[in-house]
């Protein structure tokens, strides 16, 4: 294939919303880039939106590959799964040893591991790079999580740091680690995202049903919170939602939306792999489960009629106490995600720098929040910190706020309202700070019916009791 007209430093495959906006971001920063898409409409959009930079795209894959400077760098922003493999198989014969392929979709991390190994045999560098921030982030500065071949990352580091979101002078991108670490970290990011969204939904329920707030008052509450320690992107957009009017009815749009939540599966992946690693992330699990429960709208309606409210007490929670409870639960969501990364780093030899991960999440991504500065500082103070709750400064803040979470859970339980994510946060906190759990009984039961053995507190080794000799 002729490369006499090679001129572009990077090529984007997939010019949908994310791919096109990321390419425009790169062009804004002065990089010579181009894109490929089979859909002529996507090519036309790129040309129209990129006319300031005279951006052009290709509808012919060979011409596209031939236009790239060597070693070629290609970014894939196509739907995860089989489509990624199909694209790789299409372009692989057109590439040369040393070329770089970056998968920036939400691929499952084990798929990335497989692709790294397969393409390495052909002398091609492949790495997975999670991107967070949505359409606006891609256009003006996302948080990016690249993992894989470190030498390949060095080839694109300049571009990625230029287009990433900035917090002060810090670019929200860093080399995550080897293998599929980039996609693993993005998956965990999404799990934390699920948890915080569920907490915000439950907070809305308390404000609306227990405190009797109007949508205007709920907007004002979240707006106030967003100016303090709870400042975050998700709190910010949640506040804005309560002001948005429905064009069809003139009502607040949030009141016109059916209470059935959808998902694309990344939260479920987080729960599944956490169970495989035997590392509990119950607040994320609850968030996933409740999206699933929300889909049983008809069943919920039938059960609501069969089991009317059985209120045995009045909720006395205040807005200030609810704010404190949300802080504890929010910290718990991040703590469980960081603990999962700590365990995965050991299991998969990812060599994750948890401080750096918290640092790049401070801007650009969906879970960006003021709290991440505290998390960054905690892991900066102690790089091998096993759990965020062990940090002394975090512990002091949690200890003062946990009583509000206890009051919220007890009040809402008596008033017959379910707060699964909040309840999970408190149960997790109380369980993980319990020095002696009742799990000794479980081991006795397992040994009784299945001779699975147990360990003793006064001797090393494993033991079996003859439970029939009672």
Q: What are the tens digits of pLDDT across the range 186-198?
A: 999 999 999 999 9
d(CA 376, CA 361): 9
pLDDT tier at 415 (50, 70, 90 boundaries)?
Answer: confident
Question: pLDDT tens across 10-57, in order?
Answer: 999 999 999 999 999 999 999 999 999 999 999 999 999 999 998 989
pLDDT tier at 3 (50, 70, 90 boundaries)?
Answer: very low
CATH class of 10-179: alpha beta
Q: By CB neighbour count within 10 A (0-12 exposed, 13-18 middle, 19+ buried), where does 61 fall? A: middle
| Predicted local distance difference test score (pLDDT) of residue 4 | 44
Contact 127, 73 (CB under 8 A): no
The answer to whether residue 121 scores a pLDDT higher than 80 is yes
Pairing verdict, β 73-76 and 100-103: parallel
CATH of 186-432, one of 3.20.20.70, 1.10.1040.10, 2.40.50.140, 1.10.10.10: 1.10.1040.10
| Predicted local distance difference test score (pLDDT) of residue 41 | 95
| Predicted local distance difference test score (pLDDT) of residue 201 | 98
| Predicted local distance difference test score (pLDDT) of residue 267 | 87
3-class DSSP state of 79? coil
Contact 357, 182 (CB under 8 A): no
Handedness of CA 365, 371, 377, 382 (dihedral sign): negative
Encoding tokens for residue 463? 């033991």
The answer to whether residue 5 scores a pLDDT higher than 70 is no
Domains of the chain, residue spans: 10-179, 186-432, 438-470
The answer to whether residue 1 scores a pLDDT higher than 70 is no
Q: Which residues are catalytic?
A: 186, 193
The answer to whether residue 263 scores a pLDDT higher than 60 is yes
CA distances from 316 to 237, 313, 398, 406, 408 (A): 28, 9, 21, 12, 8
Kindly state the percentage of the chain with pLDDT values over 70.
98
Handedness of CA 135, 140, 144, 149 (dihedral sign): positive
d(CA 169, CA 80): 32
Question: pLDDT tens across 206-255, in order?
Answer: 999 999 999 999 999 999 999 999 999 999 999 999 999 999 999 999 99
Q: Does the pTM exceed 0.85?
A: yes
- Across the range 117-134, mean pLDDT stands at 92
d(CA 333, CA 398): 13
The answer to whether residue 469 scores a pLDDT higher than 80 is yes
Torsion of CA 317, 319, 320, 325, to 10 degrees: 70
| Predicted local distance difference test score (pLDDT) of residue 416 | 85
Largest CA distance in the chain: 87
Kindly state the percentage of the chain with pLDDT values over 90.
90
Task: Write b or e for each residue in 398-410: b if 16 or more Cβ atoms lie within 10 A of its Cβ, otherwise e.
Answer: beebbebbebbbe
CA 155 from chain centre, in angstroms, equals: 26
Question: pLDDT tens across 270-305, in order?
Answer: 999 999 999 999 999 999 999 999 999 999 999 999
Contact 357, 147 (CB under 8 A): no
Give yes or no on whether 186-432 and 438-470 have one common fold.
no
CATH of 438-470, one of 3.30.450.20, 3.30.70.600, 1.20.5.320, 3.40.50.10140: 1.20.5.320
pLDDT tier at 309 (50, 70, 90 boundaries)?
Answer: confident
The answer to whether residue 393 scores a pLDDT higher than 80 is yes
Across the chain, mean pLDDT equals 94
3-class DSSP state of 110? helix
């Amino acid at each position: 294939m002729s490369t006499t007209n090679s001129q572009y430093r990077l090529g984007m495959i997939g010019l949908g919303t994310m791919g096109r906006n990321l390419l425009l971001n790169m062009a804004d920063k002065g990089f010579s880039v181009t894109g490929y898409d089979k859909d002529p409409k996507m090519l036309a959009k790129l040309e129209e939106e990129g006319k300031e930079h005279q951006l052009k795209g290709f509808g012919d894959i060979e011409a596209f590959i031939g236009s790239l400077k060597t070693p070629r760098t290609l970014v894939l922003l196509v739907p995860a799964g089989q489509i990624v493999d199909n694209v790789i198989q299409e372009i692989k014969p057109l590439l040369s040893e040393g070329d770089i392929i970056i998968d920036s979709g939400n691929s499952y991390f084990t798929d990335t591991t497989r692709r790294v190994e397969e393409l390495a045999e052909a002398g091609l560098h492949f790495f997975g790079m999670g991107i967070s921030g949505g359409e606006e982030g891609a256009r003006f500065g996302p948080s990016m999580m690249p993992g894989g071949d470190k030498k390949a990352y060095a080839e694109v580091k300049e571009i990625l740091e230029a287009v990433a979101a900035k917090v002060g002078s810090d670019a929200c991108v860093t080399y995550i680690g080897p293998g599929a670490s980039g996609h693993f970290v993005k998956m965990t990011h999404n799990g934390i995202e699920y948890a915080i969204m569920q907490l915000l939904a439950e907070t809305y329920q308390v404000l609306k049903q227990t405190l009797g707030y109007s949508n205007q008052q709920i907007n004002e509450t979240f707006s106030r919170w967003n100016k303090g320690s709870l400042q975050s992107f998700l709190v910010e957009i949640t506040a804005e939602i309560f002001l948005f009017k429905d064009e069809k009815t003139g009502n607040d749009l949030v009141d016109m939306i059916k209470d059935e939540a959808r998902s694309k599966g990344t939260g479920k992946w987080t729960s599944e792999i956490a169970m495989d690693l035997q590392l509990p992330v119950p607040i994320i699990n609850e968030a996933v489960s409740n999206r699933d429960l929300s889909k049983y709208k008809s069943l919920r309606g039938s059960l609501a009629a069969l089991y009317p409210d059985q209120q045995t007490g009045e909720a006395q929670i205040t807005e200030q106490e609810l704010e404190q409870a949300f802080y504890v639960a929010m910290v718990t969501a991040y703590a469980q995600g960081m603990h999962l990364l700590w365990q995965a780093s050991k299991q998969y030899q990812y060599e994750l720098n948890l401080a750096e991960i918290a640092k790049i999440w401070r801007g650009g991504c969906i879970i960006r929040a003021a709290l991440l500065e505290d998390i960054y500082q905690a892991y900066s103070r102690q790089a091998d910190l096993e759990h965020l709750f062990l940090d002394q400064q975090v512990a002091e803040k949690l200890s003062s706020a946990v009583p509000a979470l206890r009051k919220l859970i007890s009040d809402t339980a008596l008033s017959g309202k379910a707060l699964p994510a909040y309840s999970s946060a408190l149960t997790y906190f109380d369980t993980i700070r319990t020095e002696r759990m009742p799990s000794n009984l479980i081991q006795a039961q397992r040994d009784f019916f299945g001779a699975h053995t147990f360990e003793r507190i006064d001797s090393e080794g494993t033991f079996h009791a003859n439970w029939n000799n009672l």
